Structure 1
């Protein structure tokens, strides 16, 4: 299972997505995944939207973790975004999401997908991590903060 530093590359962080709907957010994040990881845009968007139809990926506290499995992807990978304004991802607390991690895994990555999802979820449950991401002033600052927080969690 890769560390978050490996899971979320610096070029896969989007600072302040300006979107009006969940679908616009997912499109922007899928486009970032195409640039960062070379995945297919339509397959990424289709898989992500299909998973969203099965049930909300909002986890509460202003966080959402949409996820999908993709043919041809070699290892789990993620896109991290801060949204402005927040968008409703139907979290259990009713709060719209402003921190979103799109987790992509290989089609056959059963346990690795679940481990990556758990790792992202565990990190974003921490109030200090959410506060730090919200206080960041750039994509680089968001990535650095996530990497440092992940390292401190593992220690």
Structure 2
């Protein structure tokens, strides 16, 4: 079953040209943005994201990172996407800095859903055609429509 990105990402959770000096401060800023929509405190959000980062960077290469974690008390999956200017060192697998970050927060009980959501975002963010367009789009609504679009069936 394919999960639709639009089911957990809203247009108001697209942030363009975010500035941050490093990964920790970036995740703190993004957690502050996510907190009101999720009912979680920004401290809880960033703590769990950093715990996941300590297991291994979520920087998947090609300038993309998908920090993610599971949360007790979270009712439904939540996504937040940010384009960074300038890029930030995320300790990615290819050692390149990251300029596209898709944060995923999922309920602790969502076993299979967590993997489906992560797979949907990963597939979308692995498309070089998509990420090249995301790097130049200036309108957050167009950015949202591109990232949330259903991939074409082959």
- 1 or 2, which has the higher helix percentage? 1
Q: Deviations over 1:41-66 (max 9, x none)?
A: 11111111111111111000000000
> TM-score, normalization: structure 1?
0.91
CA distance in 1, matches of 2:62, 2:126: 8
Alignment of structure 1 residues 111-130 onto 2, 5 Å: 111-130=112-131
CA distance in 1, matches of 2:7, 2:115: 16
Aligned to 1:103: 104
Aligned length: 153
Aligned to 1:70: 71
Kept in 2, the 8 Å contact 1:16–1:83? The answer is yes
Aligned to 1:33: 34
Aligned-residue offset at 1:6: 1.5
Unpaired runs of 5+ residues, structure 2, are none
CA distance in 2, matches of 1:97, 1:108: 30
CA distance in 1, matches of 2:65, 2:97: 9
Aligned-residue offset at 1:38: 3.1
RMSD: 1.6
- Segment of structure 1 superposing worse, 34-43 or 99-108: 34-43
CA distance in 1, matches of 2:78, 2:153: 19
